[in-house]
Structure 1
């Protein structure tokens, strides 16, 4: 954690991935992020996979460094407490529908004198109000029908879904950015803002920003499937003599020259250039257009070398490459995890399972990044937040707990 956002407090009421990610990134930069859930846990509280103790590892990692308040959000009184917390704090991240008790207007109307104008960031499905989630907007984007082996029939082959909920994580990161942009505007003008970020717009907008939307309209058709090849450049997976599969990419002249040298293909490349009447050093175009001939040359060379020798040559030439790992291999890899300064000492996880935890992704030389903070227990900070934010006495909070409106820590 860095403390660049110390002094900023945010109320987060959310579930699943995108909205908690926005709060997580703020918390990792030092903001006080107070997640408010239903007293039995939100929709993601028991999200798979669970430990033997019944704790969700997904929830635990998306809510590190946050505080947790647990209220009966099915009751009018519990909802009123949440609205009051958001109104008093003045900063809100949520994926609850706009037409709910936590609408921007409802919260803004409850703001006390002296509170900053409300800034709310709301994650939606589609811009027109339809529901959506990562895997459904991904289906609409066209990407799953762009993936798969090159020889698949475009008309009849099945889609290939990605397993990473990438649109959720991109949306969460964008929402953290949008929140800080709105806060900067408020600091300059005193004006709050309602910010709505549709998950579907993030997906289709990212497709447009990548140039893919313009490409499809320009070509008047879909792009062909490429298997594991890189679109528009030289790159693909290969297999060494001892069965190690790895990926290489060459987007610059230096990367291309390094690959040719590491594979020992200088003479073969020269001969192929003479046959085809091209110069592969001229850029991505000739390399991509003649990729199949090049792939054959590179795979033949890879099949005659063991990975230890080939990887040493690739490294010596400064090429861009990496071997494929299973995710369990990646999680256990010293280079990626154990010796990576991104990870710090494991905090006291509510799950009781001891494993590496991430610091902020950003690296700021000269600043102390600190160690990863644990996730809270559900309701761990209910009493603290209700007292400090709403000024409730211990007796009043005790009454709320006794009546089932508020819940304290679920630590057993």
Structure 2
């Protein structure tokens, strides 16, 4: 963790990936993030993957460094507490508050106009599925964007969903950016505001930013699937003599020439250039266009050497490459997990100790603080009620008796 956002208090009412990711990133930069959930846990509290004891590793991963308060969100008292938390006033000498991240519906007890009556300068970042308020999640948005038809083997027409929840993660990061942007405007004398960030718009805009939509709009057809080929450049997986699969990438002229040198393909490729009347070094698009002629040359070069022979040669020659490896092997890779200072082994609410990341950015000027585990559900209920809402012990006890709130023991 870092202290860049120290002095900010963010309240999070969320579930699943995008909104919790936003809160996670803010917490890792030093903000105090208070997440409220339903007593017993919300819809993401027991999502897979699960530990053997049934604890959600997913929930522990997305809520590191946050505080947790458990509320009965079906009761008027519980809903009122959620509203008061989201709109709690600043305290002299205390954190700058009035920052709320949620994926609750735009209408209802957490509607912006309802909350704004309690704090006029409230900043609310609201994750949505579709901009019209209809339900949508990463995989349904992805299907609508056409990407599953572009993914997978070229000879198989079935749509292929990707494993990574990319639109959720991009949306979460973008929400953190929009919240800090709105806060900067408020600090400069601006007003509070609601910022709605639909996954559908993040997905559609990103596709446009990368040229996907312009390509289809101008050509009248969607890009065809090409398996593991890198679109518009030279890159693909190749199998070595000992059966290992390596990824080779040659986008720039330098990357291309280095690969040819190490694989002893300079002469063969020059002959092919003469036959076709092209220069592969000058244009990555030409390499992509003629990849069907180039691939056999590279396949033979890879098949003639083992991975143990190619790896040091690639490294010494400055070739852009990578080995396909299972996550079990990646955990032993010092550049990814083992010995990576981003990770620290900590004990989590499940009682299990395993590596967890802190902030992904490295700031040489600032000391990286220790990784903070996720809280137990309701762990900070009494603390938050007392410190944020200023409730006394008697009132807190009354709320427990009413079943409006619960602590880490579920009561």
Residue aligning to 1:387: 386
Alpha-carbon deviation of 1:196? 0.3
Cα distance, 1:411 vs structure 2: 8.6
Match for residue 126 of structure 1? 130
TM-score (norm 2): 0.96
Aligned equivalents of 1:302 and 1:42: distance in 2?
51
- The TM-score, its normalising length taken from structure 1, stands at 0.95
Q: How many residues align?
A: 403
| Offset at residue 261 of structure 1 (A) | 1.0
| 1:215-263 CA distance string (max 9 Å, x none) | 0011111212111000001100101111110111111111111111111
Does the residue aligned with 1:224 lie in a helix, a strand or coil? Answer: coil
State the partner residue of 2:234: 234
Question: In the alignment, what sits opposite 1:355?
Answer: 354
How much does 1:52 deviate?
2.7
Change (3 A) 1:275 1:90: same
Equivalent of residue 148 in structure 1, options 152, 155, 160: 152
The aligned runs of 1:2-401 (5 Å cut-off) are 2-88=2-88, 89-111=97-119, 117-152=121-156, 157-344=157-344, 346-401=345-400
RMSD: 1.3
| Corresponding residue for residue 91 of structure 2 | none
3-state SS in 2 of match to 1:93:
strand
Aligned twin of 1:408: 407
Are the aligned partners of 1:377 and 1:411 in contact in 2 as well (CA < 8 Å)? Answer: no
Aligned counterparts of 2:272 and 2:353: Cα–Cα separation in 1:
54
Task: Please report how far the alpha carbon of residue 79 of structure 1 lies from its aligned counterpart in structure 2 after TM superposition.
Answer: 0.3
- Tell me the SS of whatever aligns to 2:87: helix
CA distance in 1 between partners of 2:383 and 2:261 (Å): 63
Question: Which sections of structure 2, spanning at least 5 residues, go unmatched?
Answer: 89-96
Q: What is the rounded CA distance, in whole Å, between the counterparts of 2:284 and 2:192 in structure 1?
A: 47
Once residues 6 and 46 of structure 1 are traced to their aligned partners in structure 2, the CA distance between those partners, rounded to angstroms, is 30
Q: Which runs of 4+ in 1 moved over 4 A?
A: none
Q: In the aligned structure 2, how far is the partner of 1:52 from the partner of 1:233?
A: 44
Q: Which consecutive unaligned segments of at least 5 residues does structure 1 have?
A: none
Residues 348-395 of structure 1, C-alpha deviations (whole Å, 9 max, x = no match):
201122111102111111210112111000011111110011110112
**1:140-195 Cα deviation digits (max 9, x unpaired):** 1111101122233xxxx110100111110010000000101110111112311100
